[in-house]
Copies of this chain bind each other. A is one copy, B any other.
Amino acid sequence: MNTTLEHDLNALRAVAPLVHNITNYVVMNYSANALLAVGASPVMAHAIEEVEEMAGIAGALVINIGTLSAPWVQAMKLAMKKAADLGKPIVLDPVGAGATHYRNTVLAELLETAPPAVIRGNASEILALAGLGGQTKGVDSTASSMSSLDAAHALSERFGCVVSVSGAIDVIVQKDRVSYVENGHPLMTKVTGMGCSASAIAGAFCAVQPDSFLAAATAAATMGVCGQLAFSKATAPGSFQIAFLDALFELTSEKLVELARVR
Determine if A96 is an interface residue (Cβ-Cβ < 8 Å). Answer: yes
A36 with B191, Cβ < 8 A, contacts A44-B25, A137-B18, A236-B249 known: yes
Measured CA separation A243–B28 after assembly (Å): 21
Task: Determine whether the beta carbon of A237 is less than 8 Å from that of B245.
Answer: yes
Task: Determine whether the beta carbon of A58 is less than 8 Å from that of B192.
Answer: no
Chain B's nearest CB lies how many Å from the CB of A62? 13
Measured CA separation A49–B239 after assembly (Å): 36
Docked complex: A78-122 residues within 8 A CB-CB of B:
96, 99-103
A139 with B26, Cβ < 8 A, contacts A33-B241, A53-B101, A239-B242 known: no
Chain B's nearest CB lies how many Å from the CB of A141? 11
A246 with B237, Cβ < 8 A, contacts A29-B27, A138-B57 known: yes
Measured CA separation A53–B243 after assembly (Å): 36
Task: Pull 5 A–B residue pairs with CB atoms less than 8 Å apart, ordered by A.
Answer: A53-B102, A236-B245, A238-B245, A239-B242, A239-B245
Task: Determine whether the beta carbon of B41 is less than 8 Å from that of A24.
Answer: no
Residues of B within 8 A of A103 (CB): 50
Q: How many copies does the complex hold?
A: 3
Chain A residues with CB under 8 Å of chain B are 18, 20, 24-30, 32-33, 36-37, 41-50, 53-54, 57-58, 66-71, 96, 99-103, 137-140, 190-193, 236-239, 241-247, 249-250
Residues of B within 8 A of A236 (CB): 37, 245-247, 249-250
Chain B's nearest CB lies how many Å from the CB of A8? 20
Write the chain B residue with the least CB distance to A103: B50
Task: Determine whether the beta carbon of B138 is less than 8 Å from that of A18.
Answer: yes
Partner of A102, one of B25, B49, B58: B49
Task: Determine whether the beta carbon of A33 is less than 8 Å from that of B140.
Answer: no
* Beyond A50-B102, A238-B249, 16 additional pairs, beta carbon < 8 A: A26-B44, A28-B67, A29-B30, A36-B190, A37-B238, A41-B138, A41-B140, A42-B192, A45-B67, A47-B68, A49-B100, A57-B138, A236-B245, A236-B247, A238-B245, A239-B242
Chain B's nearest CB lies how many Å from the CB of A233? 9
Measured CA separation A96–B6 after assembly (Å): 32
Task: Determine whether the beta carbon of A32 is less than 8 Å from that of B246.
Answer: no
Task: Determine whether the beta carbon of A50 is less than 8 Å from that of B245.
Answer: no
Chain B's nearest CB lies how many Å from the CB of A43? 3
